[in-house]
Amino acid sequence: MLSRAARPALRAAAQSAARPATLNATNAATYATLREIEGRLKSIRNIEKITKTMKIVASTKLTRAQRAMTESRKYGQTSNLVFEKAETKPIEGEGKKTLIVVCSSDKGLCGGIHSGMSRKTRAILAEKPDIELVVLGEKCKAQLGRSNGKNMQLSFAGIGKDVPTFADAQAIADQISLLPTDYASVQIIYNKFINATSYEATIIEAFSEEAILNSPNFAAFEIDDEVLANLREYSLANSLFWALAEGHACEQSARRNAMDNASKNAGDMITRFQILFNRTRQAVITGELVEIITGAAASEE
């Protein structure tokens, strides 16, 4: 049997042996938290580098896109001027079909630029459910395909990879002209470039041959009926080129703004996590000091 004098010493030794185990477990959990914070900091810094690079790339592309947009306006506005002078209006009535061409792109990470056109298209379809769709770009195709897939007649991929050209618009206009339905009205929905920070979903009207022929002042232009189909297809290509170029400029501007906001948010997160890392690291150091002092005091006893 142990003597009564030896029992308190053994009890103190047992308590001092159990105390470091608890502290070691706490420190191990704190070290794991430190590694998690450090890993997340590294990930956020990598994201910040990517978003800053994408912002620089978008800023470079925006300059080219604005130049192409200015040149494309000459094509579209010239065609519109002819129809304004001729007082051309779309033909309405029963049995007259309308086609909507939605000009989006395949790329994302540019805010709600595609969602705005999809909302405007859905609003038109809510009033006239029999309208048919041609969608340029995978983004609006995916959005409209879920709600209005039955209205979609034609779609194009590979849009927006580079600055649009008139040849691209002409190829799309050729495919639209091959559709079996003779549309009384073709409406092109695109993002109109207002300034570097704002844009608006807008509609351009591309008139049918019948609408052009029935224009009140059409005779003043002395255009033969044999070339009327060519005029209609050429004006459609002009309007598509204008819409694609403006939409491309809006996309690059929106992507630059989105990447700028993402970089700022990443910087704020880095600041917060750096403070958290420093505080956690200080807590670990304090815990280790407490453990050393406690162990030294226990050994002295």
What does the pLDDT read at residue 29? 54
Give the 3-state secondary structure of the chain: CCCCCHHHHHHHHHHHHHHHHHHHHHHHHHHHHHHHHHHHHHHHHHHHHHHHHHHHHHHHHHHHHHHHHHHHHHHHHHHHHHHHHHCCCCCCCCCCCEEEEEECCCCCCCCCHHHHHHHHHHHHHHHCCCCEEEEECHHHHHHHHHHHHHHEEEEECCCCCCCCCHHHHHHHHHHHHCCCCCCCEEEEEEEEEEECCEEEEEEEEEECHHHHHCCCCHHHHCCCHHHHHHHHHHHHHHHHHHHHHHHHHHHHHHHHHHHHHHHHHHHHHHHHHHHHHHHHHHHHHHHHHHHHHHHHHHHHC
What number is the average pLDDT over the span 142-161? Answer: 87
Residue 31's pLDDT is 55
| Boundaries of every domain in the chain | 72-255
Q: Among the listed ranges 95-99, 172-176, 214-218, 223-227, which one has the minimum average pLDDT value?
A: 223-227
Find out whether 110 and 254 touch, Cβ atoms under 8 Å.
Answer: yes
pLDDT category, 266, cuts 50, 70, 90?
very high
Percent of the chain at pLDDT exceeding 90: 31
pLDDT confidence of 290, banded at 50, 70, 90? Answer: confident
Identify whether the C-beta of residue 287 lies closer than 8 Å to the C-beta of residue 48.
Answer: no
Neighbours of 255 (CB within 10 A): 23
d(CA 298, CA 142): 69
pLDDT-based confidence at residue 6 (cuts at 50, 70, 90) = very low
- Asked whether residue 128 carries a pLDDT value surpassing 90, the answer given is no
Domain 72-255 classified CATH 2.60.40.10?
A: no
Give the pLDDT confidence score for residue 14 in this predicted structure: 41
User: Encoding tokens for residue 105?
Assistant: 């792109």
User: 104-108, 180-184, 262-266, 268-272 — which is least confidently predicted?
Assistant: 180-184
* pLDDT number for residue 267: 93
pLDDT at 84 over 60: yes
57-63 mean pLDDT: 91
Q: At what angle do helices 113-127 and 138-148 cross, to 10 degrees?
A: 30
Using one digit for the tens of pLDDT, what is the confidence trace for 30-53? Answer: 555 888 888 899 999 999 999 999
